[in-house]
Amino acid sequence: MPIYERLIEDHHRQRVLLGRIVDSTGSLESRRRLWQQFRLVALCHADAEEMTLYEQLKASPSGLERARLSMMEHKEAAEAIERLDEMDMANPEWLEKFQSLARVLRHHMKEEEEHVFPLARTIISEIVARDLARSFNKRRGALA
């Protein structure tokens, strides 16, 4: 499997968790559990994505700008995640801020799938893309 398909699987997992967190209106306990799950997946995904796909893109003149932009978005998302993690979930502002993070992340994943991966396919060979999937799994698996 080339890395793109693996990343899309992971994006799907994040989208499902984002939706479940919004839906978990009845129980703060389950929202907390889902949030911790999501937080770990989102942070580990971005980390492993940077160490594999974006490492390769950065090395190419036509991929450098795009890689920088995505990595900046990862950094901003990670900061927003940590701010939310420190906030009291019972505060109604928490869900508002969470929803704005969810919008940003959905947009980021869509951009990756519609623009970054097609660009990467023109830069990275099929064989390397498969190797990257293995490296991604190793890194990602070690973390979450």
For Fe ion, the closer of residues 21 and 109 by Cβ is 109
3-state secondary structure of 126: helix
In the complex, least distance from residue 2 CB atom to Fe ion, rounded to whole angstroms: 14
In the complex, least distance from residue 66 CB atom to Fe ion, rounded to whole angstroms: 11
Q: Write each residue from 32 to 61 as x if it is in contact with Fe ion (CB under 5 A), else as -, in one continuous string.
A: -----------------x------------
Size of the site for Fe ion (CB under 5 A): 2
> 66: how many CB neighbours lie within 10 A of its CB?
20
3-state secondary structure of 124: coil
CA 130: distance to chain centroid? 19
Alpha carbon distance 126, 120 (integer Å): 10
Interface residues with Fe ion (CB under 5 A) are: 49, 112
